[in-house]
Amino acid sequence: MPLIHSPFSQYIYSDIIDVSDETNESLKAEIQKIVKPGLLTNYHDDSNSTLTNPIFAPLFTIITEHVNIFTKTIGYKQKLKIKDAWVTISYPGSCHSLHTHEHSTVIAGVYYVEASEDLSLIFVNNTSQLTPGEHVEKIKTGKLLLFDGSLIHGFIPVTGTSPKITVAFNLWNEHKN
């Protein structure tokens, strides 16, 4: 059952999505194949190759269904499509500084192909000084998060022995280029 938080004036959609173990393993193998190792966090950001790769097609279909649920729930009437997508592997000890998705016109998202349950994504309120603070979202394998692309977020260092493997994306109004 999806959960929509509104810790600030922005919404965060959170759900464990129905991706089969076989599909998830295929995603993991493909990401490990295309991401070049070398740093604590490594990524492959060729959106065109990620968006057209047939291994990712079932995931993007499921994500689109959840985007439609999310936008309907929050009253957003424009049709959205995934415009940019990239994959990352973050090894133990790595973190990602606070950032926004400036290339997202409305919603950004991330799907956790692999993540230990002791990890979190931190969201920081950047819209109002009247409601300061942060929201900590626990993550784990199979979780999908959708959120306002302007919402500041980042993750604390990856712990344990397994990497965190993600597919991240930006959504755009379908009628804009």
What are the pLDDT digits (tens) for 22-57? Answer: 999 999 999 988 887 766 566 666 667 889 899 999
Decide if 121 contacts 145 (C-beta within 8 A).
Answer: yes
SS3 content of the chain, % helix, strand, coil (to 5): 20, 35, 40
What are the pLDDT digits (tens) for 99-155? Answer: 777 766 688 999 999 998 888 888 887 665 655 678 888 999 999 999 888 888 888
Backbone angles phi, psi at 134, to 5 degrees: -140, 160
Distance separating alpha carbons of residues 87 and 156, to the nearest angstrom: 18
Give the residue with greater pLDDT, 26 vs 79. 26
Would the pLDDT of 2 be above 90?
no
Query: For residue 123, what pLDDT is reported?
Result: 84
Nearest Cα to Cα of residue 44 among 30, 57, 55 = 30
If pLDDT is split at 50, 70 and 90, which confidence band does 60 have?
Answer: very high
If pLDDT is split at 50, 70 and 90, which confidence band does 58 have?
Answer: very high
**If you ran DSSP here, which 8-state letter would residue 177 be given?**
-
Say how many domains are in the chain.
1
Q: Structural domain of residue 141, as residue ranges?
A: 3-173
Would the pLDDT of 177 be above 60?
no
Would the pLDDT of 163 be above 80?
yes
Query: For residue 39, what pLDDT is reported?
Result: 61
**Three-state SS at 127:** coil
Distance separating alpha carbons of residues 87 and 113, to the nearest angstrom: 10
Query: For residue 47, what pLDDT is reported?
Result: 63
Q: CATH code at 7?
A: 2.60.120.620
120 CB contacts (<8 Å, ≥6 apart)?
A: 136, 137, 138, 139, 155, 156
